[in-house]
Amino acid sequence: TDATYELLAYREPANYGKKRMVDEDSVLEMNQKTYPNTFDNIDDGYMTITPHTPCPVLYGIRGETMGAVEEAHKLVKVSEPIEFFRVFLTNQHTDMHLQNIDAISKMKQFQCYIVPGTVRTQPVVIEGGHVIFVLEDESGEVECAAYEPTKKFRDVVRHLAPGDQVIVYGGIGNKGTLNVEKIKITSLAPVYEYLNPICDCGKRMKSAGKGKGYKCPRCGSKMPTGSEEDVEVREKREIERMIKPGFYEVPPSARRHLSKPLVRG
């Protein structure tokens, strides 16, 4: 059974609720020396080992072995007393909450899944900065969301396109939306753009209006065409995709405690 270790350093009761006095530079150095045997210490250059609540924990370090988290603990510098620390064997960051599913129609609310499918809709950004798309298979479809706290991960999701083959990891929320924790892009569908035709004089023509064909801005030549013929006369060009097949994950600050970071394999 997969497992990880977490070292928790506890504050003296007199300091509960006060600002945590942890030296950020020492955490950055600790991460450089112990990663990937410890992980999720840093997010975009900032430390993530300190809680944001007035709880007794000063900081927590997660890692692959007891030795790794204890070594990291020795490298962290603080300006307040540590009452004691403990190392716990945990199921955090193991993906233990996820179950493989072979049909979207079998998924249930409040359950977590690994589900393959095809992107059906162009992702859209909705109010709040969340990115939404629809995933489908032969059995049905489900709305998927990369929420605002996932930050740059949303850029990956935003660049998906209909026809892309993906495997989505995440949980079904109370509104039936699949909250994406990470995604594996297995193949990308070709995406095309259609350019106005080029005139005999070498200049690209411009639209003369809906259903009125094209007109050359240089020589004035016209190319009449109806809406059905429009695609045929335009130049079809494949667009280079902004993403590549592979695994993508949310940043540490947005990761669920059970979700397995890619660095763990």
Could you check whether 4-90 and 99-188+242-264 share the same CATH topology?
no
Q: Is 83 exposed, middle or buried (0-12, 13-18, 19+ CB in 10 A)?
A: middle
Find out whether 69 and 35 touch, Cβ atoms under 8 Å: no
Distance CA 62, CA 137 (A): 37
Question: What is the pLDDT tens value at each position of the chain, 265 positions in all?
Answer: 899 999 999 999 999 999 999 999 999 999 999 999 999 999 999 999 999 999 999 999 999 999 999 999 999 999 999 999 999 999 999 999 999 999 999 999 999 999 999 999 999 999 999 999 999 999 999 999 999 999 999 999 999 999 999 999 999 999 999 999 999 999 999 999 988 888 889 899 998 887 788 889 999 888 876 544 555 677 889 999 999 999 999 999 999 999 999 999 9
**Helices and strands (H and E) in the chain: how many:** 4, 19
pLDDT score recorded for residue 160: 98
pLDDT score recorded for residue 228: 44
pLDDT score recorded for residue 212: 80
pLDDT score recorded for residue 211: 76
Spans of all domains in the chain = 4-90, 99-188+242-264, 192-238
Helix axes 66-75, 24-34, angle to 10 degrees: 150
The fold of the 99-188+242-264 domain, in CATH, is OB fold (Dihydrolipoamide Acetyltransferase, E2P) (2.40.50)
pTM higher than 0.75 for the full model? yes
The fold of the 4-90 domain, in CATH, is Glycinamide Ribonucleotide Synthetase; Chain A, domain 4 (3.90.600)
CB neighbours of 28 closer than 8 A, spacing ≥ 6? 42, 45, 47
